[in-house]
Amino acid sequence: MYILGDIGNSETKIFIVSSNYKIIKKVNFTSKDINLFKLNKFFDKLKLDYKKINKILFCSVVPKSFELIKKYLLKKTRIKCYEVKNLNLKSLIKIKVNYKQVGSDRITNAISLLDKKNNFIILDFGTATTFDVLIKDSYAGGVIAPGVRLSLDTLSDKATLIPRIDLKKIKNIVGKDTTSAVRSGFFWGYAGLIDNIVNLIKKDTGKTFKVIITGGFSNLFKNSINTKVTHNKDITINGLIKISKLIN
């Protein structure tokens, strides 16, 4: 069995995968303030036989959390814990930008989709809203915009009279109260941002793309924008599975 994981700024996802690459178990927990007590608690839920684990791979944008999890799993399994960017990925993808500055989650997502025939834009609603551009077998670069949840929380924190709200689809553009006005601004504002950036990428590259949407708010926007998109909630784990085949 394999332990594969995605350590994000907001959430950590850990998957237990069989040797024939089927997901057996999964656990999600908040990335903030990970410690040994919490790791014991979450891994206990998985009821693992650590003797059966023979591969461990993570993509991580939080080095401190990765180091803690790596040490924890080394004690449990006595197996080396790999991070995506520490592997030689040249057989899977060509990176056309500064490799050190691309998050391993974004590289993992790119590897998940690359098929050497199509061009893709991956739109990921995470802590940041990211657009990753894949041209044939290459990662060509991307765009990073503020994350929806982060922006909502920042507005509430900085503006005393604006409450914390849950973002929902809203039909009316003009809000009748503070909550509906904020919802309209964020919903239609991000819908416009998505369509505009996708169109600008197409114009800039002179190419056509399949647009893949994933992450926290992807369900909210997938049917509410002009851009034709495909929803893929398993893009990261599929990428990790693909990359794990490089580990002997």
Tell me which residues are annotated as active site.
Answer: 105
In angstroms, the CA 78 to CA 74 distance is: 5
Maximum CA extent, the chain: 60
Q: How many CB atoms lie within 10 A of CB 180?
A: 15
Residue 86 is given by DSSP the state G
d(CA 230, CA 226): 13
> Six-digit token pair at 244?
């794990």
Lookup: tokens for 49: 């036989």
Q: What residue has token string 């919802």?
A: 183
> CB count, 10 Å around CB of 56?
22
